[in-house]
Structure 1
Amino acid sequence: MSELRIATCTYQEFQPEMGTPIRTTAGHPRFALSYQIAGHAKLVTPAWALVKANLPEDAYEFQYRRQLSAAGLDAIRAELYAIAGAYDLDSPAVLLCFDRLNKPGYFCHRTHFARWYAAETGELVPELGAVCAPKPWDQGGLF
């Protein structure tokens, strides 16, 4: 099996040269896309109940990580490999969502997935869309 590389982005910021676009949202995009989605990663998609729960980020991430762990790393990798493998394994499988990360206070399941995946595998999952500038304490600055 070829190595599967994974990245994340928004539907809005994704460009085809970034990789293979994969849906990870409970709902379909309600706007026209200039590219075709390769498939839907259902095991990575948050459950509707979680999406609608309006939880604080730490509680959301805890519940989402439980969902990912219940699905299992091997099954998630197999699902992503099957979708990306049908297109182009030489470019990253790009997990797409609606939420822009450059808005203060916003969070997204794709960031939580990236942290979970890195913890499970040691492999980093880069964000290809715009992100907020790091806070001073994230850079070893003020605190």
Structure 2
Amino acid sequence: MDALRLATCTYQEFTPDMGTPVRTTAGYPRFPLPYKVAAHAKVITPAWALVQQAKKGLAEDAYEFQYRRQLNDAGLDRIRETLTAIAGSYDLDSPVVLLCFDKLAVPGTWCHRTHFGRWYCEQTGEEVPELGAKPKGTPPTLF
């Protein structure tokens, strides 16, 4: 089997030609989507308590530390199995695109999908490109 292909994007910037859209947020989008979300990757969705702490101003480094602990507790094998099952249920040839709300082109914005991408790359050596708009000066990422 080919390597699992992952990417990230916002709900708002995602288009179906990017891959299989997968929810990674604790909450549902509160706006209509022009596409159907294929699945919810609960194993990498931040815990609701962590989301609430972030809303109250938890610093990014503290958030990332706690989120990485959640990912480590779930374990790489379980995360890969879950995402591979999602890919296999939809389209093995297209990337699984992990979606959330935060637009990274907005200065100072960060989100769990970026933290997940870094963690996953450290664990596997496999890059997780961002498909949405990025801050100015960020080089494009291609598969």
Same fold (TM over 0.5): yes
Which residue of 2 is the match for residue 36 of structure 1? Answer: 36
Residue of structure 1 equivalent to 2:136: 133
Percent identity over paired residues: 69
Q: State the 1:2 CA deviation.
A: 3.4
Q: Is 1:72 aligned with 2:75? A: yes
Q: CA RMSD in A?
A: 1.3
Matched residue count? 136
User: Tell me, which stretches of 5 or more residues in structure 2 are unaligned?
Assistant: none
Work out the CA distance in 2 between the residues paired with 1:108 and 1:37: 19
Check whether the contact 1:38–1:84 (CA below 8 A) recurs between aligned residues: no
* Regions of 4+ moved over 2 Å: none
Instruction: Give the TM-score taking structure 2 as reference length.
Output: 0.92
Q: Give the corresponding residue for 1:91.
A: 94
Q: Deviations over 1:15-38 (max 9, x none)?
A: 000000000000011111111111
Report if aligned partners of 1:9, 1:94 keep a CA contact under 8 Å in 2: yes
Alignment of 1:1-143 (within 5 A): 1-54=1-54, 55-134=58-137
Cα separation, 2, equivalents of 1:108 and 1:134: 19
Larger Rg: 1
User: What letter matches 2:108 in structure 1?
Assistant: G
Return the letter of the residue paired with 1:111. T
